[in-house]
Amino acid sequence: MVNRSPIPVVDMPLKIVVLLSGEGTLLQSFINRQQSGLPIEIVAVISNRPNVGGLARAQKAEIPAHEIDHKLFPDRPTFEAALIKLIDFYKPDLIVLAGFMRILGEQFVDHYQGKLINIHPALLPKYKGLDTHRRAIEAGDTEHGSSVHLVTSELDGGPVIAQIKLPILPGDTAETLTERTKQKEHLLYPEVLRWIAEKRLVLATGTPCCDGAPLKSPVILEPDSEG
């Protein structure tokens, strides 16, 4: 998967909508890579929280930026219906969760089956849910990492597409490990978008297929440097 020759021909850029809830550092990695030739087009950025840094990053890059504050809706289905309406206006090829801190219900996930991906800061299936860095340290793990997976109705339970690993260093805290893992995510997530844009990775069947064959285990991205 990481062998980039021959270079596939991309007829049209992959149109993505990015969902986020915070500062948007992952979004910034997409923007930077798009500007340097990654064959994607970020058609919209949507936050479920108002006035977050991710919206400012989108506006600076002249990307349509929207906030749909989930607190203003009476329940999850109503919020998700509004979110679906806005996303569908942009007709994206893929919906990318990038620090979107809101559990999505079955109605939403089913609507975008095979078109919805997320990144989780752990080597799934380990450490689903929150506090992954602290849990990995407390368990005595020697390595940690991040996983990009297809979203299903099971929390952090969809098929894992790709992972990137890093060592847990002596003296690591949850805070230092969080920061080091984020740096690896900025390598991993844009690369997965590249594979999808180049049609080397196909998700629509519900079972990810890589280079024409079902993906039996996650692709392990080897970063240029470890640590």
Q: What are 146-203's pLDDT values in tens digits?
A: 999 999 988 888 999 999 999 999 999 999 999 999 999 999 999 999 999 999 999 9
CATH number of 14-220: 3.40.50.170
CA-CA distance, 201 to 210, in Å (whole number)? 5
Domain ranges of the chain: 14-220
User: Is pLDDT larger for residue 212 or for residue 54?
Assistant: 54
Q: Provide the mean pLDDT of the chain.
A: 92
Categorize the per-residue pLDDT at 224 as very low, low, confident or very high, splitting at 50, 70 and 90: low
pTM, two decimal places: 0.92
Please choose, from the candidates 213, 216, 227, 211, the residue with its C-alpha nearest in 3D space to the C-alpha of residue 3: 211
Amino acid 207: pLDDT: 82
Of 120, 133, 149, 186, which is the active-site residue? 120
Neighbours of 166 (CB within 10 A): 19
Please choose, from the candidates 96, 93, 87, the residue with its C-alpha nearest in 3D space to the C-alpha of residue 66: 87
> In the numeric block, which tokens belong to residue 32?
């930077």
Amino acid 9: pLDDT: 55
The distance from CA 138 to its chain's CA centroid, rounded to whole angstroms, is 26
Note if 133 is an active site residue: no
Amino acid 205: pLDDT: 67
Q: What are 29-44's pLDDT values in tens digits?
A: 999 999 999 999 999 9
Is a pLDDT exceeding 60 seen at residue 71? yes
